[in-house]
Structure 1
Amino acid sequence: MKKILIGIYILVTLGIIFLLIQLNPKEKKDLVAIEAGEKLYMQMCSSCHGNSGLGEGAKQGTALNNQQFLSTVSNQDLIHYVKYGREGTIMPDYKFLSDEQLNQLVAFMRDWQTEKIHFDAPETISGDIDNGEKVYGLYCLSCHGVDGVGKKKMGTALSNPQYLKYTTDQQIWISTAYGRDKTRMSASLEGLEGVRQLSKDEITDVISFIRSFEKK
């Protein structure tokens, strides 16, 4: 009986060792990608987005190390944002980076994510553009500017072609409704701890107005 138990113990131990050997290459690969991405980030991104990604850089870039933001964007979204930049803003494009470098940069940014937050948003965003313009003028214009051109150190350029191309209506709705912690963008949805207290329909109207910038 004792020999049987020892045999089982040895088999279990060998099985665990085998699994660890199989898992280690992936873990090492991810770690290597994150470390390479950190080097790229410090070289090209930290001056605007800050060493910690909180938007504390000298040029006041967007806060990337933000759980709300990271919960609503895919890795492909992040690649698009980096690769194509934002025309007409201080965010240049990085088309010269290889696919491997882009993936490394995204791996580093994704490593900031500590939780996956689920947000409710309408499946279809179709509101009253005219009312959206009125609500925008009351609550959004002071930071995001006339026609969504943005204001330095205040608000993102919402009418930027790259922003509108690579950001879905639902992503804009969520950012507007729930805001982003530790940034100037507080929640707007009624019932949350925000100043604006907008209804879901009013937020939908605002998003429809923002989306209309594409046609101008």
Structure 2
Amino acid sequence: MKKILYSLYGVIIIGIIICILNSGIFNSENSNAIAAGEKVYQKQCLICHGENGKGEGKNAGTAINNQRYLNAVSNKDIYNSVKFGREGTAMPSYGPRLSEDELNNVVAFIKNWQTQEIEFDVPKKITGDSLNGEKLYNISCINCHGEAGSGKPKMGTALSNPQYLKYTTDKQIWIGTAYGREDTRMGPSLKGLDGVRQLKKQEISDIVSYIRSIKVKQKSHNDYLEP
């Protein structure tokens, strides 16, 4: 008898869950967040990132509406980028300007641009030779991302920026380098893809290692200059 009751309870619980999912409650909440986030985006972000998020704004702004980028980042990653910004660049910190609801809403709006699910072939462990990575960087990346990752407006992200390095994982840097971002200047670099650069997986890992080493070099240089 108990087994029958437990089975009955299980069926009832499953039925309740299905009803809740089909009720559209969660979809409604997400739709409201997206709509609210669009208003925040238009007021705060459009001037740089553009109406369509393609980096077509009046001021310098990264293209954030492309599937390779959106598949490589989580909601939390976008949240950190918006909240903490990038010091020394045109991307300010919105933490002091926006409430938590506004931050989460604009994240929902941006993430809603994702329409595809992309599987990236990434090494399980990303380690490399930073010296070789520097050589490869100076051949393949410096024209857009600048010397030592300093960045160039309307051309390439500042890779040595402390917030970029803090809130971007090695995997994300590897994906960005290997697969690029469609409809932008950043073409793919992984061998076998359609980019001009045809780098092996290990060479891309070397570049990632170099990018990670930039802040160490800069810190050492600053320490040397201090009295």
TM-based fold match above 0.5: yes
Structure 2 counterpart SS, 1:125 = coil
Q: Any unmatched runs of 5+ in structure 1?
A: 1-14
2:73 is equivalent to residue 73 of structure 1: yes
1:166-189 superposed Cα distances (whole Å, 9 cap, x missing partner)? 000010001100111000000001
Shift in CA distance, 174/30, structure 1 to aligned 2, threshold 3 Å: same
In structure 2, what is the equivalent of residue 19 of structure 1? Answer: 19
| Distance in 2 of aligned mates of 1:198 and 1:21 | 45
1:130-149, aligned counterparts within 5 Å?
Answer: 130-149=131-150
**1:66 deviation in Å?**
0.8
- Tell me the equivalent position of 1:100: 101
What is the CA-CA distance between 1:201 and the residue it aligns to? 1.1
Q: Aligned residue for 1:193?
A: 194
Residues 1:180 and 2:156 are matched in the alignment: no
Q: TM-score, normalised by structure 1?
A: 0.89
Correspondence for 2:56: 56
Task: Work out the CA distance in 1 between the residues paired with 2:49 and 2:24.
Answer: 32
Deviation, 1:21, is 8.9
1:61 is aligned with what amino acid?
A: G
Summarize deviations over 1:48-92 as a string: whole Å, max 9, x none.
000111111111311111100010101001100000000110000
Q: What value does the CA root-mean-square deviation take over the aligned residues?
A: 1.7
Q: Does 1:40 align with 2:37?
A: no
Cα distance per residue 1:142-168 (max 9 Å; x no partner): 111111000111111000000000000
Indicate the SS of the match to 1:134: helix
Corresponding letter in the other structure for 2:212: R
Task: Tell me the percent identity.
Answer: 56
Structure 1 residue 22: Cα displacement: 5.9
Instruction: Quote the Cα distance in structure 2 between the aligned partners of 1:30 and 1:129.
Output: 43
Range moving further from structure 2, 189-198 or 26-35: 26-35
Is 1:169 aligned to residue 156 of structure 2?
no
Quick one: which amino acid aligns to residue 177 of structure 2? T
Instruction: Give TM-score, length-normalised by structure 2.
Output: 0.85
Query: What secondary structure is seen at the aligned counterpart in 1 of 2:156?
Result: coil
Whether the aligned pair in 1 keeps the contact of 2:60 and 2:90 (CA below 8 Å) is: no
Q: Is the contact between residue 86 and residue 161 of structure 2 (CA under 8 Å) also seen in structure 1? A: yes
In the TM superposition, structure 1's runs of 4+ consecutive aligned residues that sit over 4 Å from their partners are: none
